[in-house]
Amino acid sequence: MSTEETSDTTESEVRLSILGMRCAGCVSAVEGALAEVEGVTSVTVNFADHSAQVKGDADAEALTKAVKAAGYDAAVMEGLEDPAEQEEQEMQRYRSLMKKAAVAASLGVPLMLADHFGWLPEIGSATGQWF
C-alpha cells in the first residue's frame, strides 16, 4: 500500500492547449505523442476545446516538445483553476456567440422571406430586373 501512496504523491497533472488539431486522426496523433513521453501514466485529449490532460511525472517542457514533434503547437494552460472564473469566461463566449447569431438572423431572415415571396429578381433571367 505504501507504493500506491508514493506514486500518488509524485503524480501530477498538466493541462495543455493544443493548436492545429482538425480531426479525430489529429487527436490520436497527439495522444500517441504524449503517451510516448517518459513518466506519462494517462493522456486525455479533448478535440472540442483543443486541450490535453496529462497525468504522470513528466516534465511540461518535454510534453510540449513531443506535441510539436508530432506537428502541432502546444502550451501549458495556467490560471484557470477557479471554477467561477471558468464559468464567467464560458458565459462571455456564449454571449458573443448569441450576438453573432442575432446579427446573422437579422440579415438572413429578411432575405429568405424576400426570396420566398418573389420580391427579389431572378438571377437567371435575361434582364435580371424586377418583373
3-54: pLDDT as tens digits = 444 444 567 889 999 999 999 899 999 999 999 999 999 999 999 988 999 9
CATH, residue 39: 3.30.70.100
Cα 101 off chain centre by: 20
- Residue 36 counted as domain residue: yes
- Residue 105 counted as domain residue: yes
Q: Is the pTM of this model over 0.75?
A: no
- Residue 94 counted as domain residue: yes
Q: Is the pLDDT of residue 110 over 60?
A: yes
Q: What is the pLDDT of residue 2?
A: 42
Closest residue by Cα to residue 26 from 74, 86, 90, 88: 74
- Region 45-65: mean pLDDT is 92
Domain interval for residue 112:
81-124
**pLDDT band at residue 118 using 50, 70 and 90 as cut-offs:** confident
Beta bridge partners of 54: 14, 43
Contact 76, 68 (CB under 8 A): no
- Region 82-99: mean pLDDT is 87
Question: What single letter denotes the amino acid at residue 44?
Answer: T
Residues 90 and 112 placed together within one structural domain of the fold: yes
For the chain, how many structural domains are there in total? 2
Residues 72 and 85 placed together within one structural domain of the fold: no
Pick from 59, 76, 93: which residue ends a domain? 76
Q: What is the pLDDT of residue 41?
A: 94
Contact 14, 24 (CB under 8 A): no
Residues 46 and 15 placed together within one structural domain of the fold: yes
Q: What is the pLDDT of residue 38?
A: 92
Residues 90 and 120 placed together within one structural domain of the fold: yes
**Using CA atoms, how far apart are residues 88 and 63, in angstroms rounded to an integer?**
29
